[in-house]
Amino acid sequence: MEPKIKTYNSKEFRREYFNDSQKLNRLFERSIIDFFCLRIEDVIAAGGIKPILPSREESHTLIYVTKGSYNTKIGFKEYTIKPNDVLIIQAGVVFSTEKINKNIKGFSCHFHPDTLIGKFGNRSLISEFDFLNTGNHPIIDINDSKSAVQNIFERLTVEFKGTEKPNLIIIHSYLYALLAELKILYGQNHPVTQSAAYRMTSQFRALAYKTAKENLKVADLAKMMNVSPNHLNKSVKSTTSKTASEIINEIKIIEIKYLLYQSDLTISEISYEMGFSDPSYFTRFFRKREGISPTEFRQLIEKF
């Protein structure tokens, strides 16, 4: 029987794969809501990272190489990232890295999808960044916007490593700016040759966002799209490696978090707003997927 591939949160991943050194631990003292942006050479100089066995993380990772190369495997495919490339490793994908090139320079930007919600975000912005949601793991050539992209990585690094408490508004704004730049470059690097499955998945995601508060099932959305639930699920699975039901629940969780972040509604009011008739079931639904209750989540974000 093959060993189960573990899914890590940020702290668990660092505890498992980063070497234990005071210098390295100090680099991550300021980790906030599963976010960091650091120079790769600083991480190596402070103690480095162990070989990574096949694993999943709950956060997205952007690897930007300025010197040397970075080799990793995502699923069964190997990737080599060269200078002026950015690799996107989406949350939840299986990846591994046998060896880190000690001469590599660049940046590693790591953020939980919640970071994109923030106090001012909205779901239409999140849904714009397809490269964070599809089953592709694109390498984006940033030569056409090298200065702009590198400046944003450097600004995020400065904000993360500064002496004062990191400013979430600044981090949120620069992260959106970075993703917007990468979206433009992604479109230039990857001309639109979308498969039928990709187009169906995009339509499904847009509809799931639009109906997030209506508590609809996969069969309901499939009927609205004039396709069978089985065909819809196969298309979504082939494009995202997730089931249609998982995508619906993820989008529902995002909508709930927006309300917890940005509204003064009570937990019960949010429950009814999201189509749950029983606030207790709503709390169980949230806790099962997030590991904490809606109240605990709201208390957590109020600290920042």
Same domain assignment for residues 141 and 216: no
Judge contact between 21 and 28, C-beta under 8 A.
no
Question: Which tokens hold the place of 270?
Answer: 């949010």
Same domain assignment for residues 154 and 249: no
How far is Cα 208 from Cα 216, in angstroms, rounded to an integer? 8
- The model's pLDDT over 210-250, given as tens digits with 9 standing for 90+, comes to 898 888 999 999 999 999 999 999 998 887 778 999 989 98
Same domain assignment for residues 179 and 88: yes
pLDDT for res 65: 95
Question: Which tokens hold the place of 70?
Answer: 């970075």
Q: Which residues of the chain have pLDDT under 50?
A: 1-2
On the 0-12 / 13-18 / 19+ scale of CB atoms within 10 A, 27 is buried
Which sign, positive or negative, has the C-alpha torsion 259, 263, 266, 269? negative
Judge contact between 31 and 302, C-beta under 8 A.
no
How far is Cα 289 from Cα 39, in angstroms, rounded to an integer? 32
Number of helices and strands (H, E) in the chain? Answer: 13, 10
**The domain boundary residue, chosen from 131, 155, 189:** 189
Answer whether residue 258 is part of any domain: yes
pLDDT for res 198: 78
Cross-sheet strand order for the sheet of 70-74: 7-8, 52-57, 95-97, 70-74, 77-81
pLDDT for res 2: 43
What residue type is assigned to position 168 of the chain? L
- Find the CATH number of the domain harbouring 265: 1.10.10.60
Judge contact between 86 and 62, C-beta under 8 A.
yes
**The domain boundary residue, chosen from 189, 209, 233:** 189
Same domain assignment for residues 157 and 53: yes
- The model's pLDDT over 173-197, given as tens digits with 9 standing for 90+, comes to 899 899 989 988 887 665 555 678 8
Which sign, positive or negative, has the C-alpha torsion 50, 56, 59, 64? positive
Same domain assignment for residues 171 and 248: no
What residue type is assigned to position 15 of the chain? R
DSSP class of residue 85 equals: E
- Give how many domains the chain has, as a whole number: 2
Q: What does residue 8 show for φ and ψ, rounded to 5 degrees?
A: -110, 145
Same domain assignment for residues 29 and 143: yes
Same domain assignment for residues 29 and 82: yes
Three-state DSSP at 202 gives helix
pLDDT for res 183: 86
Judge contact between 149 and 209, C-beta under 8 A.
no
Same domain assignment for residues 205 and 179: no
The pairing of beta strand 52-57 with beta strand 77-81:
unpaired
How far is Cα 116 from Cα 118, in angstroms, rounded to an integer? 6
Q: Could you identify the residue written with the tokens 């940020």?
A: 10
Same domain assignment for residues 160 and 29: yes
Closest CA to 101 of 67, 146, 142, 74: 67
Same domain assignment for residues 118 and 169: yes
Same domain assignment for residues 286 and 256: yes
Query: Which residues form the domain of 238?
Result: 196-301
Question: Which tokens hold the place of 214?
Answer: 């209506």
